Amino acid sequence: MKKKLLISSIFALVLLTGCGTTEETLNCTKTEYDEDGYKTTDTMVVKYKNNIVTSVSETNVSEIDSSIMDMTLSFGNLFAEKLSEIDGINVKYTKVNEKTLQFTIDVDYSKVELDKVKQILGDAYDEKQASMYTKNIKLDTFKNDILNNYTCE
């Protein structure tokens, strides 16, 4: 009898605590320098549950030539405006200072639709980046497709 009660209690505890259903976070960073010595630091915060990516927040901080800042910011804002039309995606470009630009994108995989991304991006859509916008993507696939060359913890 005690054994049945113990087993029942353990089973109930597992159900109540949601064993294996806790959302976890993977923090990844990559720093690169272009041929002119400008630094780009990219950080991704990947949230996942049961090995399925649920959301991604990416922040990219790039040094650029100040003479192209306004043009780059204008282009970035057009891109951000179009991509932000997609439910589940929020994109923002901001000027940090005269030579630093910040790009942020938040993707909520419970809402985003890959077909909408393809439609909005048109010829700019890159099949290699499909994992960034694909629902029910496994963490290992996301790591292989998107987080190559990142340091993650």
Q: Which two tokens stand for residue 119?
A: 């439609």
Question: What value, to the nearest 5°, has the Cα angle with vertex 54 and ends 76 and 78?
Answer: 10
> What residues have CB less than 8 Å from 115, skipping those under 6 apart?
none
Write the pLDDT tens digit of every residue in 12-45.
333 334 455 799 999 999 999 999 999 999 999 9
For 88-144, the pLDDT digits (tens) are 999 999 999 999 999 999 999 999 888 888 888 887 777 777 778 888 899 999 999
pLDDT in tens, 65-104: 999 999 999 999 998 999 999 999 999 999 999 999 999 9
pTM attached to this predicted model: 0.80
